[in-house]
Amino acid sequence: MNNLLRLLVIVGLGAGAVAMVALGLERHNADLLAPLNLLLFVAALLVYMLPAGLAMYRDCKSTAWIVVVNLLLGWTIFGWFVALGWAAGGKVREPFHPSAPPPVHPVPSH
């Protein structure tokens, strides 16, 4: 949960910085706004794909379904929040821990 909070703070600060830059520009020259438009597009794409990235980061069991819901229903606010909640609270895969070391076969002597 602590990592999720850090991720949300970073995304929030990044979105705030982008908004401040966008509001601070007073020129309407298309050549000057082209890099900003690209930056805004990339920031929006990152925020849009946040649930899929979180599911992959957490190694959820249903990562594929979370990505499908995010891609197909993420354009609705409800679908995006469903995917985000599923990614944040979904079951994660358990790492494989063998209970006993592998058997050691004795080497026959000559």
Half-sphere exposure in the Cβ direction for 80 (13 Å, CA): 11
Q: Which residue has the higher pLDDT, 36 or 82?
A: 82
By residue range, what is the domain housing residue 6? 1-48
Q: Which tokens belong to 51?
A: 């649930």
Specify the pLDDT at position 98. Answer: 66
The count of domains in the chain is 2
Sorted by sequence, the CB contacts under 8 Å of residue 60 that are 6+ apart come out as 66, 86, 87, 90, 91, 92, 93
The secondary structure of residue 39, as a DSSP letter, is: H
In a domain, 108, yes or no: no
pLDDT in tens, 30-71: 666 677 788 888 899 999 999 999 999 988 888 899 999 999
- In percent, the amount of the chain with pLDDT more than 90 equals 31
Please indicate, yes or no, whether residues 81 and 61 belong to a single structural domain of this protein. yes
Q: Look over the chain and give the mean of its residue pLDDT values, rounded to a whole number.
A: 80
For tokens 């929006």, name the residue. 44
pLDDT in tens, 91-103: 877 776 667 666 6
